[in-house]
Structure 1
Amino acid sequence: MTQEQDDPIWSAAWQWVRREYDRENFNAVARAEMTAWLVADPLHRKAYDKAARLWLLAGLVPPSASE
């Protein structure tokens, strides 16, 4: 496992990013919960920003020819 996978803050940030991009199920309640999590600790925002950048970059990588 990587260090990030062992980090509960990173894991939570990654889950928030994944949930946020699930447009059908990410409603105002979920957004309020995410916002509360983000403001609870500066490390939360830092991890979230990193996870969001990774999500964006993953979406920019074209699928391999074998897929």
Structure 2
Amino acid sequence: MDKVLELSIRAVIRHLNGDMTEFNKYKNKAIKIYEHEKFKESCRYQIRHMVPEETRQKLYEMVS
């Protein structure tokens, strides 16, 4: 999320300076990274809750 914040700040600065091309470039990069991170978080969360407790226990035993 630090990269998203950095790109957002750069976009704001470019917008204030009137450089709309660079503003859109940074804005689009920030949105793309943000959506990718949110997708990764939602996938991990959903898969974890979809696996039954019994299967998770067996997996933990196999790894230990």
Query: TM-score, with normalisation over the residues of structure 1?
Result: 0.37
Higher share of residues assigned helix: 2
Indicate the structure whose relative CO is greater, using CA pairs within 8 Å and at least 6 residues apart: 1
Q: TM-score, normalised by structure 2?
A: 0.39
- Structure ID, larger Rg: 2
